[in-house]
Amino acid sequence: MSPSLLSVAGVTKRFGGLVAVDDVSLEVAPGEIVGLIGPNGAGKTTLFNMMAGAFPPDRGDIVFDGHSLRGRSAATICRLGLVRTFQIPQPFGSMTVLETIQTAALLHDRSIAASRAAALAIARRVGLEGREASPTPSLTNAQKKRLEVARALGANPKLILLDEVMAGLNAAEVARMLILVQQLRRDGVTVVLVEHNMEAVLRVSDRLVVLETGRKIADGPPRSVVEDPAVIRAYLGEGTEEDAA
């Protein structure tokens, strides 16, 4: 077994009386694409928030690339190479596409010229060439999703956490995003993606991890996970179609 790039061990997070993430453990190997799925409110984004250092777990530990993330800020975790996108794209005010990506690149590259060159290359890589000078509010939803990925790439990640980057995209845009995700892996970036678009997540994932009301209920090869009776039960009665693009 290859050593894990990310190791989540017995992680729990409560919000008042609600246990949003309940004793979850999982491993991510270098080079993997892992799909993290589950019904609305299952705890997927909360788990991402803890991995990315938005807030610490109440219990358990997360180890990334040999470093315990305990007590580390989001900025430090980002510098270690673990970077997330936001479920709701969060463009920085009226900055342009290039400025947004360059701001992330400046985290590890103090030179303005080098960070600008890196940002230009990333804009091309995610398919935003020609839009470098556009103010971010003028982008389409699909372009904003690609900018989220670009901003994450600006930080030069080893592991990227993608939170619903296909939500609201049409079929052609989803296909484009899937190509980008596969390209990330070829570039040596490990990927964990939260996604409600089941067809898309099945197409791209090496492995699926399923959460339901905070607990991990399945972890394994995609085809066997989707046939798991516990997983089918978790999704029955859930309005997941609304998210299918």
Ligand X SMILES: Nc1ncnc2c1ncn2[C@@H]1O[C@H](COP(=O)(O)OP(=O)(O)OP(=O)(O)O)[C@@H](O)[C@H]1O
* Site residues (vs ligand X, CB under 6 A): 15, 18, 20, 38, 40-46, 87
- CA distance readout (Å), 1 to 4, 50, 160: 9, 25, 22
Q: What is the dihedral of CA 119, 170, 202, 150, to 10 degrees?
A: 10
- Residues with Cβ within 8 Å of 150's Cβ and at least 6 positions away in sequence, in order, are 97, 100, 101, 122, 123, 125, 126, 128
Select the residue whose beta carbon is closest to Mg ion and give its number.
45
Which one, of 75, 84, 78, lies nearest residue 46 by Cα?
84
> Within a 10 A sphere around the Cβ of 205, how many other Cβ atoms?
23
Q: Whole-number minimum distance, CB 164 to Mg ion, in Å?
A: 6
**Comparison of 42 and 119: residue with beta carbon closer to ligand X:** 42
State the nearest-atom distance from the C-beta of 45 to Mg ion, in Å.
3
- Minimum distance from CB of 125 to Mg ion (Å)? 25
Q: CA–CA distance from 137 to each of 57, 91, 144, 163 (Å)?
A: 34, 7, 8, 20
Residue 177 interacting partner from Mg ion, ligand X, none (CB closer than 5 to 8 Å by kind): none
User: CA 219, CA 223: separation in Å to the nearest integer?
Assistant: 11
- CB nearer to ligand X: give 61 or 238: 238
Asked if 45 touches Mg ion (CB under 5 A), the answer is: yes
Closest to ligand X by CB, 49 or 156: 49
CB of 192 to Mg ion, least distance (A): 13
CA atoms within 13 A on the CB side of 36: 29
| Contact criterion met (CB below 8 Å) for 129 and 157 | no
Residue closer to Mg ion by CB (options 45, 197) is: 45
Contacts (CB under 5 A) with Mg ion, residues 87-116: 87
Contact flags string 69-88 toward Mg ion, x per CB under 5 A: ------------------x-
Closer by beta carbon to Mg ion, 150 or else 193: 193
Q: List interacting residues with Mg ion (CB under 5 A).
A: 44-45, 87
